[in-house]
Each structure stands twice: as structure tokens, then as C-alpha cells.
Structure 1
Amino acid sequence: MSLDIKKPNITKTKKKKTGFVVKMQLNNNRGGNKRNIFIFFFFRNYYTWILWFCLSLYFFTSYFSVEDQSSPSSIRLLSNHKTSSSLPSRALIESSAIKTTSIGKKASIFISSLFQIFHFSSKIDFLGSLIKGLFTGMKIYVYDLPASYNDDWVTASDRCASHLFAAEVAIHRALLSSDVRTLDPDEADYFFVPVYVSCNFSTSNGFPSLSHARSLLSSAVDFLSDHYPFWNRSQGSDHVFVASHDFGACFHAMEDMAIEEGIPKFMKRSIILQTFGVKYKHPCQEVEHVVIPPYIPPESVQKAIEKAPVNGRRDIWAFFRGKMEVNPKNISGRFYSKGVRTAILKKFGGRRRFYLNRHRFAGYRSEIVRSVFCLCPLGWAPWSPRLVESAVLGCVPVVIADGIQLPFSETVQWPEISLTVAEKDVRNLRKVLEHVAATNLSAIQRNLHEPVFKRALLYNVPMKEGDATWHILESLWRKLDDRSYRRSRVLSQREVDM
């Protein structure tokens, strides 16, 4: 189906002698482990008293914070996995950079911290509902744009709502039924702009084209400017977009071209939810952003789990299926995957313990559930859907993409559920995996089975507590002080009244 989209008619790193680097946290601090076990059992035995205390504190302080129910500006979850315990413990510290001293916000910090402590206990549902009630004070208005910006694309192709870039669709649908949604834009903290730019499957290779992305988004912003006052009053700083493709809001699949074109000027003050993220300075993330996971259909994950071996035995040691070029340099002179995938193919293609396949296979997730290690090398971009697929299907992700920023790194403790191998050390990959298999594999696999990790990486409609959309809302909650125009006006008025 060909769709004619027009502008609306409006008026700790360890160095080994072998030279490779594996970024893992192998913790053998027995004293620290005993201390954390003590903390866990203490809270478990006295949870009733703590829960009643939390409730009393919450309802008491809510009197003082009717308007100010913002998230803590900066709660950081520090995690040290203890291999001698089957139940990982967590330690919490509060950043000194909290921007407000209101009693309501301090209560939010306290209860949020307790929620994290209890995250692995049997009382998670109770505390989960408590923390969920806290950030319902945040309100998001979802623009009702003409269907040419979103629904028409889904009608044109079912792939729009199920392919790896479909987070833009899933987040939109989850927000529509979320408790944080408001139908009154005057009470909104954020404004979500639902434009599906990754659903143009008109290319000969079947991959989505981004050639129309800038014009489609520019048209949507023109529509908002003409029909609503909210974009103009903040210049878009409280508006949220999704850019779930290779290089975020740069809207190009090739990094050099993405950098050259850059982020559209009209989006540079907004908040971008993007799958692209690196730990170093990059033109395609020089905007307020949240790194999110790529979209994996939850139902496909469930089907793969049902087909897993009954005894749970994983008979594939190291697995990769995907594009691997014998000659990585393409016709334009660019090197695919910086040559990393080619190096893997040449070095390990004939090895018995490495299952490497260059051909597409629709049922490849059934291979992931049979694998111990799943290789996740960079492609054109550093991120890959394999990161999520591997983690949720219990295969240890082996991340080979220097400087990558993984999604929700403040709450998803990636060093506990994955390995990171430097690109330059990929030829030592067998030694890396053998070392892990002999030392810390069982601990990592145990962590991968924790529901909290799997839940955080998948999108659900409607949204579920702790899932990917939930974590996005939590990230937005932390930005309220700086980004909510409505709240800044309320605070300014309070200062005047004082």
C-alpha cells in the first residue's frame, strides 16, 4: 500500500595477561556479602513495621506537597552482586544534587529507596503500588494528531507495530491507557508527540526508510504551533518525541551522514526517547534524551520460551545469527560493524563451539533459548535488538560495541547480566568466554532469571509496573524540575506570594 503523507491542511575494568578486557563485576567480598544478607533478612522480618511507617509518612507528608509530587532528581542504585547468595542485594544512596528540599519530595525519595530495597522480596507488589501512586502526580498530555502522522502507517503495514523500531508505536499506545495521561493539557507536565517515522517500508530491501522523517516531524510541529499554545510557550522543552532508530534524532542509518545532518533545530530543546546512546560526546545525542530498549514483541518472547528445552539445557555455547560480511567494506567505502563481525567470522567461523550463521531465520529466537552466550556486536549503529532478546531469553549478552550506553543503566544493572568485550579484543573472544564459564557464569545466569530485569526491557500495552514504558516515565519524572513548564510557573508564583 502506498501512502501519500502530506502536510495537514490547517489554518570495574580488569586487565588479564592475555590482553583482553572483560568489564564485569566479579565480587567475592565475603564480609560485604554477610552484611547485605543481614540487611535483607532484617527488612524481611520487620517489613510490616516498615510498611506501616511508610504509609503513615506518605499520607502525612502529602498534606504538605499537594502540588509538588515530583520524583527525586537523582536516586542512584548501586549494585554489587554477591556470588554466594542466590538473592542479589541492593544498596541505595541518595545524590547530593537534589534540587528541592520540599518535605513531599523527601518522602518520595525515602519511599522510592525502600521500594528498591524490597524489589527482590515477596512484598514487591505492595511497595510497587505505593511507588506507582507517587508518580501519578506527573501528568502527560498525548496529542491527538491527524492519522496521517501515526495510525495510517500501521494501517498500511502491520510491521509498523512489531519491528525493531516499533517502540514509537508501543510507547504511544501504552500512554493512551496510562494513569499518567491527562485529557486536560493545562494540567500537563509533558506533551507527547506521537509521530511514527520508522514505518515507511518503501525501500527495495524491506528496511524502513527515514528519508521522510524530518519533513513529517516538521509538519507535525507546525500543526502543534498552529493549533495549540503549548509548543510556542516553551519552545518544545516539555515535549517528548520517540526516535527509535539507528542514530536517534539524526534520522539517518549511516553514522557519518547522521552526524552531518544532525538533529533538526526544532527538536533540540525537546526530550528524545532514543535507542541510540553512547558514553562519549556525540552530535546525535546533544539533546535531552532517555536511552530506551528497542522493541521486541512480548508474545514472541513467550513463544520462544515455550519452545525451550524442557530440561533447560543449552546446547549452543556461543551463538550469533545475522549479517557478517566476508569483506566489510561496502561500495560507498564504509566498513560495516567497523570490521568486528568480519573478524568474528574469520576467527571463529569454523570452530565447533561457535554457532555462527549469516542467513536469516524467522525462528532464530528458538536458537537463543538454547544458547549460553549470545554475541551482540555493533552493526552500523552500536545498539542491537539482540541485547534485549538475549537478556529476556536467558542467554548471556556479550556486548561488543565500544562506549555503548545501555538502556536504563541507572536501574538495570547490566554488569550483572551481561559481558562487555572491547572491539580490539574480539580475537580473544574464546578465552574471554571460557574464563567466564569457569568463574562467574552461574551467577550471571541466575541474575538473568530475575523477573525485574526481563520486565524492564519489554513494552506492554497496557503498561505494566516495572516494564520499559514504566521506566521511561520514571526517567521523565526525574526531569520534572527542569522541564515541566506548569510546575515552574507554580513554583514562581509561590515565590511571589511569599
Structure 2
Amino acid sequence: MEKLFRVYVYEEGEPPLFHDGPCKSIYSMEGRFIYAMESESPFHTRDPEKAHVYFLPFSVTKMLTIVDYVDVIARKYRYWNRSLGADHFILSCHDWAPQASSAKSNLYQNSIRVLCNANTSEGFNPSKDVSLPEINLKTGLTAGIIGGPSASHRPTLAFFAGGLHGPIRPLLLEHWKGKDRDIQVYEYLPRGISYYDMMRKAKFCICPSGYEVASPRVVEAIYLECVPVIISDGYVLPFSDVLNWKSFSIQVAKKDIPNLKEILLGVSQRQYIRMQRRVRLVQRHFVVNSPPKRFDVFHMILHSIWLRRLNIRVNPMAEGT
């Protein structure tokens, strides 16, 4: 892939609606990817004839309708029409991205949509779409939030703290909030207690969906070397083409929330140590680097796009609208 794969980034449009995006906050992957792609990336080609895929560099956080933009691209270039958008991709971490992309039928049905909101019940198609990890870079940097203690220095069985929204979290708090010293579940942490320190003390970090399926807690857990416990319906996990999530995370069905402690205690110490070691091994695939480094999250996203591009046949003679 590194030697062959090339991406053309459409140059139409002006910031901030295009070629720009948030680099801090829960939507930070939008801006980070656009910036990395448009910098001196070896994957970026300025010759569209040499490209394998075509990137539409807009941010859904700043733009709700994309019909006019795609129509401009289709009129000006032949590449959209020859594949009806199948070799084009968008990237967004915003909850609205699936709905925004549905405004253009070929974009929704054909294009590669790289989305944090990778929910199969909302039309996410894992055979053509890419699940984007949701990474909340509050300061824009990962310094201080990567690395954690070994299994023997994690006194808490499981931890969660977060707002009470979506269909899963109310059940989690109803069954476990303030009810068990081993399963430490909070809606709001008491003043003076560090969220990241609590994750470092826990063997398992509970990662339930909120309003949407993705949660930044999954990557936070991986950064802090805490085995993720994923509670979500219809969520296609990032990079699952190549990563075996069952080897380094626990996936719990919504109906099994009352049995959470029993499930986690069923993981032997030996098995847990193996899982935590695997968390450390996959950690580099979720790290945001500037500039990007081999095997990091930027390269993993492009690899996922590359895999889907391999399934697309393009008719070079089809140039009509």
C-alpha cells in the first residue's frame, strides 16, 4: 500500500467549510486527517490521473449540505461520474455525518464513508464504509494520556464515568452506580478525582454508547492500557478488518448489563494479562502523530480505505453526467 496507494484531494472550496476541521474536541479526527492528508503526505498526489481514490475535504461540523459541492465536482471532473462516486471518500466524526451524506444518493450508496458513527442500524455498510475511531484530543495532543500500570497495579475491577444519555447508560447507572466497590460507576466524578487516574487504576474500562454508537472511551482505554468493555448495539469497531477485537476487549450485550461483574470476574488473571498485553500491542494503531508515522491511526485509516478500494471497478470510459 505504501508504495502504490495515492489519494487526490479536491482543491475546490475555501476554509473553513473546506480544507479545515476541528483538531481539538471529540471531532478532532476530521481536522487531523485533512491536515495530514494535505501536508507533504507520500500518499497525496496532485495528479488526479494517478489517484486510486478521491477525497472530498469538507467538515460536517461546519457544513450540513453537500449536494451543491458534489455537483460542482461532478461537472468539473470526470472521476465522480465514471464510478458514480464509488472511488471517492468523505471522513467525518460528527453524529450528523450519516444523515448529511444521505442528501446525495450516490454518496450514501456508493462512496466510501469514513465515519465515527459506524452504526449498521443507520445505514453503515462495513463492506464499503470505514469505521473511524473517535478520539477526543482536548488539548490537541496525546501527551500525558498514553501509558498505564501493569495488571498487578490496578486495584479496581471496572470503571465508568459519563453523562446520562442514550439508551444504554441509564441501564448501566441503574444497576451499578454506587452499588459495588469493584464496579465503580459514576455519572459525575467527585471534585478532585482525576478521570484518567481512575482509568489507570481499573483493569476494565466500561465504554457504553451514548446518543451514538461510538465512544471516545474506547481509545482512551487503549491509550491508558485498560481493557475496554464495549457495550453497544450495531457498532462496527474500527479497523476490524485486521484487528481481532475479541482478543483485547470484552463485548457485552445491553441485556447482560446486570451480569457485568460476573462476566468480568469470569476472566482469569492469566487471560487478563494476555488481553492487556494485546491492548499495548494495538495501541500504536490508535495514536495520533504529527507528522504521521507508520502503523499509526492515519495509516490505519488509509489502509482501511485501500482495502475497500480494491473491491471497486472503475469504467474509465464513462464520463457522462
Cα distance between partner residues in 1 of 2:126 and 2:265: 39
Would the alpha carbon gap of residues 417 and 377 (structure 1) be closer, same or farther in structure 2, given more than 3 Å must change?
A: same
> Secondary structure of 2:45's partner?
coil
> Secondary structure of 2:144's partner?
helix
Q: Is the 8 A contact 1:274 1:291 kept in 2?
A: yes
Which residue does 1:168 correspond to in 2?
30
Which residue does 1:342 correspond to in 2?
170
Which of 455, 478, 486 lines up with 2:284 in the alignment? 455
Which residue does 2:241 correspond to in 1?
410
Aligned partner of 2:78: which letter? P
Which residue does 2:5 correspond to in 1?
138
Cα distance between partner residues in 2 of 1:181 and 1:464: 15
Q: Is the 8 A contact 1:416 1:444 kept in 2?
A: yes
Cα distance between partner residues in 2 of 1:286 and 1:433: 29
Cα distance between partner residues in 2 of 1:273 and 1:311: 34
Normalising by structure 2, we get a TM-score of: 0.84
Cα distance between partner residues in 2 of 1:343 and 1:482: 41
Which residue does 1:303 correspond to in 2?
144
> Secondary structure of 2:210's partner?
coil
**2:320 aligned with 1:479:** no
For 1:273-318, what per-residue CA distance to the aligned partner results, in whole angstroms no more than 9, with x for missing partners? 112335x565344883111211243975431347x57998223331
Q: Please list, as runs of the form range in 1=range in 2, the aligned pairs for 1:21-32 lying within 5 A after superposition.
A: none
For 1:93-113, what per-residue CA distance to the aligned partner results, in whole angstroms no more than 9, with x for missing partners? xxxxxxxxxxxxxxxxxxxxx
Q: How far is the alpha carbon of 1:183 from its aligned partner?
A: 1.0
Cα distance between partner residues in 2 of 1:142 and 1:344: 43
What RMSD, in angstroms, separates the aligned Cα atoms of the two structures?
Answer: 3.1
Would the alpha carbon gap of residues 162 and 270 (structure 1) be closer, same or farther in structure 2, given more than 3 Å must change?
A: same
**2:154 aligned with 1:319:** no
Would the alpha carbon gap of residues 414 and 287 (structure 1) be closer, same or farther in structure 2, given more than 3 Å must change?
A: closer
Which of 194, 202, 218 lines up with 1:371 in the alignment? 202
Q: How far is the alpha carbon of 1:465 from its aligned partner?
A: 0.9
For 1:187-236, what per-residue CA distance to the aligned partner results, in whole angstroms no more than 9, with x for missing partners? 211111110112x5xxxxxxxxxxx41x2x22321332344333234332
Larger fraction in helix: 1
Aligned partner of 1:240: which letter? F
Q: Is the 8 A contact 1:171 1:459 kept in 2?
A: no
**2:72 aligned with 1:223:** yes
Q: Please list, as runs of the form range in 1=range in 2, the aligned pairs for 1:236-251 lying within 5 A after superposition.
A: 236-246=85-95, 248-251=97-100
Q: Please list, as runs of the form range in 1=range in 2, the aligned pairs for 1:198-213 lying within 5 A after superposition.
A: 198=61, 200=62, 212-213=63-64
Would the alpha carbon gap of residues 290 and 309 (structure 1) be closer, same or farther in structure 2, given more than 3 Å must change?
A: closer
Which of 109, 123, 134 lines up with 1:294 in the alignment? 134
Once the two structures are overlaid, the 10-residue window that deviates more, 264-273 or 228-237, is: 228-237
> Secondary structure of 1:242's partner?
strand
Q: How far is the alpha carbon of 1:144 from its aligned partner?
A: 1.8
Q: Is the 8 A contact 2:10 2:57 kept in 1?
A: yes
Q: Is the 8 A contact 2:173 2:186 kept in 1?
A: no
Q: Is the 8 A contact 1:314 1:371 kept in 2?
A: yes
Which residue does 1:424 correspond to in 2?
255
Cα distance between partner residues in 2 of 1:188 and 1:304: 36
Query: Which ranges in structure 2 are unaligned for 5 or more consecutive residues?
Result: none
Would the alpha carbon gap of residues 301 and 319 (structure 1) be closer, same or farther in structure 2, given more than 3 Å must change?
A: farther
For 1:75-129, what per-residue CA distance to the aligned partner results, in whole angstroms no more than 9, with x for missing partners? xxxxxxxxxxxxxxxxxxxxxxxxxxxxxxxxxxxxxxxxxxxxxxxxxxxxxxx
Q: How far is the alpha carbon of 1:243 from its aligned partner?
A: 2.8
Q: Is the 8 A contact 1:243 1:249 kept in 2?
A: no
Would the alpha carbon gap of residues 294 and 484 (structure 1) be closer, same or farther in structure 2, given more than 3 Å must change?
A: farther
Q: Is the 8 A contact 2:285 2:295 kept in 1?
A: yes
- Runs of 4+ in structure 1 deviating by more than 4 angstroms, as ranges, are 308-312, 360-363
Q: Mark the structure with the bigger radius of gyration.
A: 1
Cα distance between partner residues in 1 of 2:121 and 2:37: 31
Percent identity of the aligned residues? 27
Q: Is the 8 A contact 2:151 2:203 kept in 1?
A: no
> Secondary structure of 1:136's partner?
coil
Query: Which ranges in structure 1 are unaligned for 5 or more consecutive residues?
Result: 1-133, 155-159, 201-211, 252-260, 325-335, 491-498
> Secondary structure of 2:72's partner?
helix
Would the alpha carbon gap of residues 311 and 270 (structure 1) be closer, same or farther in structure 2, given more than 3 Å must change?
A: closer
The alignment of Structure 1 onto Structure 2 pairs a total of residues equal to: 311
Q: Is the 8 A contact 1:190 1:240 kept in 2?
A: yes
Cα distance between partner residues in 2 of 1:405 and 1:286: 7
Cα distance between partner residues in 1 of 2:160 and 2:254: 16
Would the alpha carbon gap of residues 238 and 472 (structure 1) be closer, same or farther in structure 2, given more than 3 Å must change?
A: same
Q: How far is the alpha carbon of 1:163 from its aligned partner?
A: 1.6
Cα distance between partner residues in 2 of 1:284 and 1:477: 18
Q: Is the 8 A contact 2:60 2:94 kept in 1?
A: no
